[in-house]
Amino acid sequence: MSRHTSSDKQPDKPWGGRFTEATDRFVESFGASVDFDRRLYRYDIEGSIAHARMLVHVGVLSEAEGQAIEKGLLEIRDEIERGDFAWLVELEDVHMNIEARLTERIGEAGKKLHTGRSRNDQVATDLRLYLRDEIDRLTAELVRLQRGLLDLAEREAGTLMPGFTHLQVAQPVTFGHHLMAWFEMLQRDKERLRDCRRRVNVMPLGAAALAGTSHPIDRAYAARLLGFDRVAENSLDAVSDRDFAMEFNAAAALLMCHLSRISEELILWSSAQFDFIELPDRFCTGSSIMPQKKNPDIPELVRGKSGRVYGNLTALLTLMKAQPLAYNKDNQEDKEPLFDTVDTVKACLRIFADMIPALRVKGEHMLAAARQGFATATDLADYLVRKGVPFRDAHEIVGKAVRYGIDHGKDLAEFSLEELRRFSSSIEEDVFAVLTLAGSVAARDHLGGTAPAQVRSAVQRARLSLDKAG
């Protein structure tokens, strides 16, 4: 019976041998994963070709059979990519759909492909191949975003802005320094992805259903064909391990936490109250009722999407936590959260990488904000310490000067020398060099400090490290 003709009878199931009645229709669709796992088709075919070549290599399949299988699988791939492939729910998942079609196309040899493997090691292999590719794509987008940040940080290395703690003006910083803080957060995310990739790139194939196979397979051979760094050491673990998916999703959750924090700052800064930046129009929308509105939708949406990635992590952890070894059908539920996380993170990175270089920076507003809030109070205290005043006394003296400034509506830099000397006789004419914002940031001239020169060299080091990582 052709799988393309519809009839009341169900197509023969690859596992139908021991069954006497057809599957209940609803059970069939309830148990099927083909609607979502078909996106693994490329990896399924890649894995099957490697498996077939390995079987030829060890003499289980003839050369002719191997070639027929490979050719058939490549034609099926074309069929799928042309949109000519009929996915059947009755055939449950991507694996059985492709295998059934192969047999339909090439006959007997197609039935031999599944020798020495099971869908259990097959699906675990497919997922790892998929995730390995996606990690590489995500990393490329992450690097694109980082390069955008570096360019902006270099341009804004000397731009003064208030630095905040408790969202209160704390000390002046440079905007370039703030951007480089974002760069560092993303750098750790990239390292986590790289580290996770090492544990993704391990081959389950050969574990078969759970116990391995009695056929004389050569796992290392298949692993080489598929670019795996090594083979899974234990067949039970190989088919049941989904650590790689949870670990990836954990790294993705952290990355989304960072994008969400960055989003929050972009949203605050584009408000009229801050007015530090302007997001390009093409990343914003208006309001249907308030004509004046320009809303920072994109950062808001990215902030919101962090929730689904955290949710996916919880779903995967919960999915796995009570599963006995080895494979259980529960595992079919690993795909949708994983796919959703990949899609979400990829889209967020892409949109950020496009948006960041297009930010309009309003340096004059940042400067005006830094002039409020006594941002150089710590500089005055440090100055007194250099003149021999113990730090705790200096702190007290400057606190009183700030109080005076609040009462008289003046920033410290606007005090006269006489006014300043009322608080400490150790203050002299040279104090004004430290009370300016530019003097304050320039003084923080050490590795990791906010001085423009430090920001510029941090950018250089970062560029070198990105270039080196290739």
Q: Which of 2, 7, 166, 288 is catalytic?
A: 166
Among 331, 341, 344, 376, binds ligand ARG (CB under 6 A): 331
Residues 21-40 binding ligand ARG (CB under 6 A) are: 33, 37
Q: Which is nearer to ligand ARG, 33 or 103 (CB)?
A: 33
Give the whole-angstrom CA distance, residue 5 versus residue 2. Answer: 6
* Least gap, CB of 30 to ligand ARG (angstroms): 13
- Annotation marks residue 166 as catalytic: yes
Q: Which is nearer to ligand ARG, 176 or 337 (CB)?
A: 337
Among 76, 123, 180, 384, binds ligand ARG (CB under 6 A): 123
Among 97, 125, 332, 424, binds ligand ARG (CB under 6 A): 332
The window from 48-56, 71-79, 117-125, 196-204 that contacts ligand ARG (CB under 6 A) reads 117-125
Q: Which is nearer to ligand ARG, 65 or 90 (CB)?
A: 90
Chain centroid to Cα 247, Å, comes to 12
Which residue in 363, 369, 454 sits closest to 172, CA to CA?
369
Give the whole-angstrom CA distance, residue 450 versus residue 441. Answer: 6
Site string for ligand ARG, 41-80 (x = CB under 6 A): ----------------------------------------
Site string for ligand ARG, 137-176 (x = CB under 6 A): ----------------------------------------
CB under 8 Å to 175, separation ≥6 — which residues?
A: 153, 156, 159, 160, 161, 361, 363, 366
Give the whole-angstrom CA distance, residue 324 versus residue 301. Answer: 38
Q: Which is nearer to ligand ARG, 156 or 334 (CB)?
A: 334
* Least gap, CB of 96 to ligand ARG (angstroms): 8
User: Which amino acid type is present at position 66?
Assistant: G
User: Which amino acid type is present at position 385?
Assistant: V
Give the whole-angstrom CA distance, residue 296 versus residue 262. Answer: 13
Site string for ligand ARG, 390-429 (x = CB under 6 A): ----------------------------------------
Q: Which two tokens stand for residue 134?
A: 């996606």
* Least gap, CB of 360 to ligand ARG (angstroms): 48
Residue 120 interacts with ligand ARG (CB under 6 A): yes or no: yes
> How many residues belong to the site for ligand ARG (CB under 6 A)?
10
Residues 75-114 binding ligand ARG (CB under 6 A) are: 93
Which H or E element spans position 224? helix 219-226
* Least gap, CB of 127 to ligand ARG (angstroms): 8
Q: In angstroms, how far is the first alpha carbon of the chain from the final one?
A: 52
Q: Helix %, strand %, coil % for the chain, to 5?
A: 65, 5, 30
Q: Which is nearer to ligand ARG, 97 or 146 (CB)?
A: 97
- Angle, helices 119-155 vs 175-200, to 10°: value is 160
* Least gap, CB of 333 to ligand ARG (angstroms): 8
- Annotation marks residue 416 as catalytic: no
Q: Which is nearer to ligand ARG, 119 or 219 (CB)?
A: 119
The window from 116-124, 148-156, 310-318, 459-467 that contacts ligand ARG (CB under 6 A) reads 116-124
Which residue in 82, 79, 59 sits closest to 71, CA to CA?
79
* Least gap, CB of 250 to ligand ARG (angstroms): 21
Site string for ligand ARG, 310-329 (x = CB under 6 A): -----------------x-x
CA dihedral (130, 132, 138, 144) positive or negative? negative
Q: Are 284 and 229 in contact (CB under 8 A)?
A: no
Give the whole-angstrom CA distance, residue 56 versus residue 449. Answer: 61
Site string for ligand ARG, 277-316 (x = CB under 6 A): ----------------------------------------
Give the whole-angstrom CA distance, residue 170 versus residue 373. Answer: 8
DSSP code string of 232-289: -S-HHHHHH--HHHHHHHHHHHHHHHHHHHHHHHHHHHTSTTT--EE--GGG-B--SS
Q: Which two tokens stand for residue 285?
A: 């929308």
Q: Which is nearer to ligand ARG, 38 or 421 (CB)?
A: 38
Q: Which two tokens stand for residue 207?
A: 């574990």
The window from 115-123, 362-370, 380-388, 401-409 that contacts ligand ARG (CB under 6 A) reads 115-123
Q: Are 219 and 205 in contact (CB under 8 A)?
A: yes
* Least gap, CB of 345 to ligand ARG (angstroms): 22
User: Which amino acid type is present at position 10?
Assistant: Q
Which three-class secondary structure state does DSSP give residue 202?
strand
Q: Which of 62, 287, 457, 465 is catalytic?
A: 287
Give the phi and the psi of residue 384 in degrees, each rounded to 5.
Answer: -65, -40
Give the whole-angstrom CA distance, residue 14 versus residue 10. Answer: 12
Residues 233-252 binding ligand ARG (CB under 6 A) are: none
Q: Which is nearer to ligand ARG, 163 or 206 (CB)?
A: 206
- Applying CB under 6 A, which residues contact ligand ARG? 33, 37, 93, 119-120, 123, 327, 329, 331-332
Q: Which residues are catalytic?
A: 166, 287
